[in-house]
Structure 1
Amino acid sequence: MTATTTADLPADEEAERAARWVFSPVGRAIAPFRRYWRDHVRAGVDHKEVVAKIATECPTTPRYMLMTMMSAGIAILGLLLSSPAVVIGAMLLSPLMSPILGVGFALATGKQKWLKISAKSLALGSVAAVLFSALIVLVSPLQTVTEEIAARTRPNLFDLMVALFSSIAGSYAMIRGREGSIVGVAIATALMPPLAVVGFGLATLNWTVFFGAFGLFFTNFLTIALTATIMARLYGFRTTLSSRQGWFQNVGIFFIFTALAIPLGLSLRQIAWETNSQRIVKNAIQSEFGERARISEQAIDWDSEPLAITATVFTPDFDTSANADITADLKERLGRDVTVRVEQFRVGANPGAAEQAELARARAAEQAAATERQIAAMVSRMVMAAGVERGEVLLDRDTRRVSATARPLPGLSLEGYRELERRVGGDTPGWTVNLRPPAQPLPAISLGEDGPDEAGAAAEVTTTWAARRIGLPLVLRGPEEQTAALATRLRAAGIEIAQVESVDQDRIAIGWASLPQ
């Protein structure tokens, strides 16, 4: 691929352009700058070499796809861990700079084939990055929207500026032959994290995250590509485009940037308003309770109407009119209808009382969170042990009981179900676990001289457990004295005995009086 610069234009066309500039007021004003730019800046650029270099790095290659997927994988892990360092490290691998600059330079030079190759490479790399990120999220136990993920779902004007400056740096480095991994990181920073978040939204079916991150990616992509187009035009990369086509391209780029900047500017304005409102709310609450009080938590529901504000305050003195006073103050200062609910906790008047109360509350919250994690783990174990769906597990927090009816598992005995129930309880003390097994045949109780032997005693424990869980009456058959004693023990354990038969044998056979249909 070759490029024709301004110097390669026919003499008549070049002279006509120069005359138009010379005789226009604007042209005369900027003529010295144009001469300086032509003679000292553009003169040292080898246009053919730059175009050839970018063009050779634009096609889709196995290396390009591999490095893109690995970069996306590291990026999504950093986002899930909410680790900016890991996210930045992923950018060192991203090879997205060449195809996206290729799009920009192809637009400037009018090379349709080059544009298609670059666009195809960027599209395939983007799809691969999204799908690979989604796959990692699907197999990951961490699927929470972290701060790093949430930060890439609300594009604003600052994001556009990041993409703009990244593209200027990347284009300049490519044109001047100073490209490198650091410049590639600048462009990848604007593209790879949003792509990884798009994959997260796809995997979790969180369409708010999906479309928010896709909007950021699309904004950054357009900004980088069009900025690269402008840089290429400034450095004389002009070929097949006529003056009319170039003029239309310039106007189109201007309108696209304007169309992007307006909503992003409004988004930035909203974010700034929310940040300022957070400060106003905090000051209003603090003023109401005084310096001795401490605000522990503060939350604002920006989507509610009226604006819902909640807070937790540690204070030495209760203020019964706090909600009404703060509501009136914030309604005037924010210019919106608000509802305020402040939860007050009374603490001592000494200077450190509020801090101590806040620490105690934090410890209690941490302990409660740990307990919730234990309960969630217990429910997950019950789902696996019973072989059922999550909705089939009954969780009663009031009585601290979890129960489920197990599906038949081939080869698993009643003793096996009992062991599964014990494992479900695990490290969650104070909870009662009831795993109802299928009504399998009960084990016979072998007898010794004075009653059940060791194996028989174990069988009696299993029988007692199974009868309690299943709730069906039992039929006992065995030696009269031993069977009668067993029936007494089982009735004392709350188990119904439907029938006792005396049979001269060395064991007690136990069966269900009736089985569920």
Structure 2
Amino acid sequence: TIVGVAIATALMPPLAVVGYGLATAQFQIAAGAFFLYMTNLLAIALSVTVLSRFYGFGERHSPQHNFWQTGLIVGVFVALSIPLGLALRDIAYETRVRDVARDMVLDPFEGREARLSDMDVAFPRRGDHQIELQATVLTNDRVSGAEAALAERLAERFRRTVKVTIDQIQVDDNNNEATARFLQAAESSLGAPLRAQMSQFEALAQERRTERELRSAFPFNLAAADIDAQARSAVFAAAPTTGVTLPAWRSLEEGLTRNYADWTVSVVPPPLALTPIPFAPSEDTLTPGAADMLADQVWALQRWGAGQVEVVAYLPNVLAAQTFDERALGHRRAARIAAVLEEAGLSASIAGEFRRGEFAEREDRIFIRPTPPPAEDEAAPSE
């Protein structure tokens, strides 16, 4: 309600300050807050009275009752306006004194390089009519008698006794060499470490921005990603994507590496079946384009972490499988591919297989088959 809002905003805060002033024996604060409380209370009462009469409440009261009621309200307002008026006069006077003192405090230093650092003005309490001014002045030349000269001028202006205390701090603004040494010392003690720290923050922020840009630059769905901004390395494990071949995944890695030259970027393609490597008929040399196909498969095997692979040559008949050695064409072809794999750091073994059906027609092709790691039971030595 309106009454509740009036009490909460206009009456409770000053009343709380009254309690604080009494509890801490600061009676001047308590008195000022009490005057504010009474002012708000009477203003609320006067507003309620006027509105009540406007809406027709209290019409049955006698003229004598209305006279005494009005007289009481006016009398209280007049009584309260006296201390409030005196307080307002004191506030205006103190503000004027501070402004004038701030304008005149440097008058004794006329003709010298001087500036005001800080100033405080204390006004008299009861029974004391002396104003106290304390100031700190930075000057290149001390002025003797500055306090007395300023006190005389202020006393003449305000027609009251003024006690002036000026702390003169001598500085030499023209000493360029000393100033340069000071700035150099400040820069070495504060500026350089701060700049170094800010550079670290900027570098870290740039790494975070590059990390976000690198992640958003990967155009396909990810199964996993490991980005280390401090080591500047990124590994993207691609999710299975229809229509994307090994050459496309490899080209994507090369493009990211070119765009982010300061980073080590690796793209792990999803598991894909390796296509057979074609050879020229009756030859152990790779057909045109087969070398690129082999390079793509070597790259994929490295990204998959296949440390050991098997190079399989499909043979035309059972007899060829039984006599499979270095003299066989399939063996020579498999050996050529195995040499490339060994050079790339992969352990490769050669095998010859004969299978009926569609595999019988693949005699001129060599397959690379990753070898699964041995099971723990098989790898453990028998007791």
Q: Which has the higher strand share?
A: 2
- TM-score normalized with structure 2 length: 0.41
Bigger relative CO (Cα 8 Å, ≥ 6 apart): 1
Larger Rg: 2
Kindly indicate which of the two structures has a greater share of residues assigned to helix: 1
